[in-house]
Amino acid sequence: MAKLWAGRTDGQIEQIADDFNSSISFDCRMYSQDIKGSMAHAAMLAAQNIISQADADALIAGLEGILTDIESGALPIDQTAEDIHMFVEQVLTQRIGDVGKKLHTARSRNDQVALDIRLYLKDEITEISQLIKALITAVTDKAEAYADAIMPGYTHLQRAQPITFGHHLMAYAMMLLRDLDRLADCKKRMNMSPIGCCALAGTTYPTDRNFEAEKLGFDGICQNSLDGVSDRDFCAELMSALSILMVHLSRFSEELILWSSWEFKFIELSDAYTTGSSIMPQKKNPDMAELVRGKTGRVFGDLMGLLTTLKGLPLAYNKDMQEDKESVFDAVDTVKMCLKVFAPMIATLTANTQNMKRAAQTGFINATDLADYLVKKGMPFRSAYKISGSLVALCIQSGKVLEELPLETYKAYSELFDADLYQDIDLVTCVEKRISEGGTSTASVKKQIAYVRQVLK
């Protein structure tokens, strides 16, 4: 097919160069954004008397037909076309004749492609946000079910203090809420229209950029035409937000993997979200969680790829920028897949609360509470800390836990100890007394759950 841009050259390029140059294989997914952008453009051209209303009507009807036909499958996208913009314009002109050639007045593919990606990614952000909300709901529901299930909380992966599984899960709900917020923030800056910037310098036609921006649901327009066609910050910002989201999913995955191991056995993933081994009959592998952890690297790579492509590009448009799409599309697709598998994987997991409790009973995770007991009786914290530590050492020597030491032993360390100490170092007490805001008590966790549900509304 002859190139629409044949003119200075005859438009005949080598097959290998043509294939190399083509972006249709990946930008075809923006067909509806491209067509809707063109409809708004045609309407603006008529409103500004740049073309006649009759011409605009013909263009819009033609574009509508193309959209319907692509959607129904009646019009397959020609994979030998240069890109989606050229394909649509070419089909339009074939279908409605010469008037189709008027569509590209006061426009360039540079502002057109910038518009299409913004429109496309705005829709993707909406979809990803919905998926994050579904995951937060699954996490929060699970946290509610296990609001009082005691487990060891860790620092340095060493047992530290008793917490509840509900409390631990709610930490992830909070991270995911921030991810939602970051995406909303990213969308705010993405929601500025570049159409009308044209090739780079604006246009001599009396266009109305705000008319188009409004028609396409933007909050405003890019204020500098060079910037409008060169800016891909919104892609980098989106991929940064998605990378941080993937950090959260990856950390969560890592814990699910650890917790599913025989060494922990804190949780059981549903069979539906695990796999077996081709050789070892006993295996039940947490492949979904491992893949999410693995795909995190891929999303970081997408971000790094684009940043590296943009670095050092002179203004305004350069063909390098065509490389923006594959990375941002891959990041978006990967994140959506991960979220889609993660929510049901969380919803269907069960906790082995006995094992969690058993793990909490060893490791002296109530030693802080023992020190706090003495502090409440008037001892300075540092001195109390020392006594509690010495008692832990004694327990380790004698193979006991703090609960098993007799009162006389305690009294030998401090006269402040009394029989009520056993109540204070009971794990349930340790958890339920942590009523500070955000703490691990059942009441506090329920408050966190209510907070998250309120925000989601």
Q: Which residues bind ligand ARG (CB under 6 A)?
A: 23, 27, 83, 109-110, 113, 317, 319, 321-322
Q: How far is the CB of 251 from ligand ARG (least distance, A)?
A: 35
Q: Residue 385: what residue type?
A: Y
Contacts of 4 (CB under 8 A, 6+ apart): 86, 89, 90
Q: Buried (b) or exposed (e) across 277-295, using 16+ Cβ within 10 A?
A: eeeeeeeeebebbeebbeb
- Residue 174 DSSP symbol: H
Q: Select which of 277, 383, 390, 398 is catalytic.
A: 277
User: From residue 50, how far is each of 16, 199, 277 by CA, in Å?
Assistant: 39, 18, 67
327 is catalytic: no
Instruction: Name which of 140 and 230 has its Cβ closer to ligand ARG.
Output: 230
What are the angstrom distances between the C-alpha of 413 and each of 51, 100, 373, 424, 436? 94, 93, 13, 17, 30
Q: How far is CA 233 from CA 39, 175, 244, 324, 426, in A?
A: 26, 23, 16, 10, 54
> Residue 23 or 260: which CB sits closer to ligand ARG?
23
Q: Is 277 a catalytic residue?
A: yes
Please identify, using beta-carbon distances, which residue of 81 and 402 lies nearer to ligand ARG. Answer: 81
Q: Checking phi first, is residue 202 left (phi over 0); if not, alpha (psi -120 to 50) or beta?
A: left
Closest to ligand ARG by CB, 296 vs 309, is 309
Supply the minimum distance, in Å, between the C-beta of residue 91 and ligand ARG: 17
Of 255 and 302, nearer to ligand ARG (C-beta) is 302
Burial of 308 per CB tally in 10 Å (0-12, 13-18, 19+): exposed
The catalytic residue positions are 156, 277
